Amino acid sequence: MGCSNSKNQPSDDDVMNTFDKHEEATTNAMIRHGRQTMERRETARMLSADGFKIRPRPHKRKPDQHPKFKPGPKGVPTLNYWVQINEGKMHTTIQGELFGCLVVDGDAIDTGERIETGPIVKGDIQEFSEVVTNSGSRYWLGEKEEEDDDDDNDEPQKKVRVPAPDKSTPRFVTPKHEDDQDDIKIKEKNLIEEEKAKKRAEAHLINERLKEKAEADLAKVKELALKKHDHKAPPLTTEEKKKKVTAQAASQALLSKQLLALEKIKQKSATRHALEAEKDAAVSAERERRERAFQAKWKSKQKAANDLQLKNARLAKDKLDSDRKHRRESISGGKSPTGEGWVDVEGNPSPRV
């Protein structure tokens, strides 16, 4: 006599497996993103130190225009430098550069990748606004990609308003920040605690009903005994006295059985509560063990990634030093035999000093 919808509720193992999968996908995406970011920064720093010019982002932004930024809702991925693609009145998509971590069907999409959304069915397609696709996915539109100067005009851009979407199941967007992961853990823990509280309340209600029934039966037996005692009847014969004694003994035996059954129910309830407490303690210990294992695994992966980045940076620096040394040796050995000046590596004479 447990909860009527217990079959529809996920078990603790299913919840933990789902949480581990999402957590592992998010961790892998964060590691890849961190590795790529550090490699890009280290390469740019070394190239700048060696005299090379770093080209700016190839987006159509005016020189005197500063990048705009406005954060979107928590947990919603952002599309920067986006463009609107119209393929009909009811089929408008957005193509832009992802900022954040997006997990779709187990595949993680990192920051910086350019993606195209599904048809937009809800929201204003303009900067710093939220839109919803036909599959239920939500995106925050950041800075829009600038168009060519030839196509500029003085007419203001019209806002495109699309109809409300059909109800569908939205895709799961894995949050990137640790605060969002903590919120997911808290929500899952609250769901488990609510389910346990419901089961305890049902067991307590069943015990109360059984207790009330036993007390009602006992009251009926006492009432019948009083009625028989108060009823004035002719003197009983020996046979009737025997029957009365037998009935009283049977009634007393029935009452004893009911009290014994009630005591057994109380003992079973106490035992069940103790088992549930042990199970809860085991689940908590297992969850803490998994958390410690995950933290150790994550730190190991982070250390390996950092070591790999440092190694690659050293190799790149050694290669740049070697190329620069070779270039200097080539330049120093390229003096003109006439003594009129120096020539560079490509054979072009330099001005006379």
Q: What is the mean pLDDT of residues 197-220?
A: 86
Q: How far apart are CA 120 and CA 160, in angstroms?
A: 10
pLDDT band at 316 (very low <50, low <70, confident <90, very high): very high
- Tell me how crowded residue 93 is: count the other CB atoms within 10 A of its CB: 16
How many CA atoms does the CB half-sphere of 210 hold within 13 Å? Answer: 16
Look at residue 94 and give its three-state secondary structure: strand
Question: How many residues would you count in the chain?
Answer: 353
Asked if 94 and 123 count as a contact pair (C-beta separation under 8 A), the reply is no
Which one-letter amino acid corresponds to residue 259?
L
Of 19-23, 217-221, 260-264, 308-312, the least confident: 19-23
Percentage of the chain lying above the pLDDT 90 cut:
13
- Give pLDDT, residue 302: 92
Question: Cα-flanking dihedrals φ and ψ of residue 161, to 5°?
Answer: -105, 125
Q: How far apart are CA 213 and CA 52, in angstroms?
A: 90
Q: How far apart are CA 5 and CA 309, in angstroms?
A: 52
Comparing C-alpha atoms, which of 337, 314, 339 is closest to residue 43? 314
- Give pLDDT, residue 164: 46
Q: Which residue has the higher pLDDT, 284 or 149?
A: 284
Asked if 141 and 66 count as a contact pair (C-beta separation under 8 A), the reply is no
Q: What is the mean pLDDT of residues 318-343?
A: 72
pLDDT band at 181 (very low <50, low <70, confident <90, very high): low
Report whether pLDDT(124) > 60: yes
Q: What is the mean pLDDT of residues 103-113?
A: 69
Both structure tokens of 10: 């996920």
pLDDT digits (tens, 9 = 90+) for 128-143: 899 998 888 888 898 8
Q: How far apart are CA 330 and CA 324, in angstroms?
A: 10
Q: How far apart are CA 282 and CA 275, in angstroms?
A: 10
Mean pLDDT of the chain: 74
Beta bridge partners of 41: none
Q: How far, in whole angstroms, is CA 235 from its chain's centroid?
A: 84
pLDDT digits (tens, 9 = 90+) for 194-207: 888 888 888 888 88
pLDDT band at 176 (very low <50, low <70, confident <90, very high): very low
**DSSP H helical ranges for the chain:** 12-49, 178-230, 238-332
Q: Which residue has the higher pLDDT, 346 or 198?
A: 198
Look at residue 320 and give its three-state secondary structure: helix
Look at residue 130 and give its three-state secondary structure: strand
- Tell me how crowded residue 101 is: count the other CB atoms within 10 A of its CB: 22
- Give pLDDT, residue 321: 92
The residue extents of the domains of the chain are 78-174, 180-282
> CA geometry: angle at 34 spanning 28 and 35, to 5°?
90
Q: How far apart are CA 321 and CA 314, in angstroms?
A: 10
- Tell me how crowded residue 137 is: count the other CB atoms within 10 A of its CB: 19
Q: How far apart are CA 158 and CA 167, in angstroms?
A: 27
Q: Which residue has the higher pLDDT, 336 or 210?
A: 210
117 secondary structure, DSSP code: -
Buried b (16+ CB within 10 A) or exposed e, 19-55: beebbebbbebbeebebeebeeebbeebeeeeeeeee
